[in-house]
Amino acid sequence: MVTYHQVTEDDFDELALLISNQWATPEIRNDPIAMKHSGLMSLYYFMVHHTYTCVAEDDGRVIGLLICTNLAERPIDMKYVKLLIGEVAFMICNPETRDDGLAWGEYTQVAQALEERVVKGIDAELELFLVAPEYQGQGIGKRMFRSMIEFYKKTGTDNFFLHTDTACTYQFYESMGMKRIGAQKSDIRSADIDGIEMYIYAADVDDIK
């Protein structure tokens, strides 16, 4: 039975593996220690500014994660700042993970530059959203996505945007009623894809199907 709750510390290790299984390079996925730290670095990065989270579990196994933030408030959770600094230091200082850590930093820079060019007057951001591949197509992602929409409606959020790329199932966002407002080609490798193209999608909350 699939259940949903907000992120807790008990979820951290499983969430790290969920993230790395989908995003990390093959070299990282072949090293359990590197895989854990790569996933934790990404998790803590997105949790720094979180205002709403949703974790999906199937009989105790973490299978999905959603993190969003209110851009007007843009809270900073210092607990996650400290955890993030530790993970970045680990990734950069270890030869086995250095290249992946540097690639993560490069990805973030390109994504932020694209955001600065095209994102104007938007209230919120869906910062991280993923569902384990074997659970996709079962409506779990839609339930998580709509829980975010309900949160936005309760908090008076009118619109939101997100980053995605060709290594992700970006067509999902189009099926939910979002529109692509920006694109940027890159030489960055993500998962098993070389030279991914980055996208930004946006929508009014009331337009989500």
Q: What is the DSSP letter of 190?
A: B
pLDDT tens track for 100-114: 777 777 778 888 899
pLDDT tens track for 108-137: 888 889 999 999 999 999 999 999 999 999
Token readout for 159 is: 């619109």
Q: How many CB atoms lie within 10 A of CB 171?
A: 9
Helix or strand (DSSP H, E) at 182: strand 179-185
Q: In terms of C-beta distances under 8 Å and separation of at least 24 residues, what long-range contacts does 133-141 make, across chains too? A: 133/22, 135/56, 135/58, 135/63, 135/64, 136/169, 140/2, 140/56, 140/63, 140/64, 141/64, 141/172
CA–CA gap between residue 88 and residue 27 (Å, rounded)? 18
pLDDT of residue 191: 52
pTM score, whole prediction: 0.91
- Quote the mean pLDDT of the chain: 90
CA–CA gap between residue 164 and residue 173 (Å, rounded)? 9
pLDDT of residue 25: 66
Cβ atoms of 75 and 10 within 8 Å: the answer is no
In order of their start, the domains of the chain are 2-156 (3.40.630.30)
Residues 6+ apart with CB under 8 A from 23: 38, 39, 42, 167, 190, 191
Cβ atoms of 43 and 12 within 8 Å: the answer is yes
Residues 6+ apart with CB under 8 A from 21: 29, 35, 132
Angle between the 12-23 and 32-47 helix axes, to the nearest 10 degrees? 100
Q: Starting from the edge strand earliest in sequence, which strands make up the sheet with 159-165, in order?
A: 2-5, 52-58, 61-70, 124-131, 159-165, 197-204, 179-185
Q: How many CB atoms lie within 10 A of CB 123?
A: 18
pLDDT tens track for 65-100: 999 999 988 899 999 999 999 999 988 888 877 777
**Side chain identity at 35, as an amino acid letter?**
M
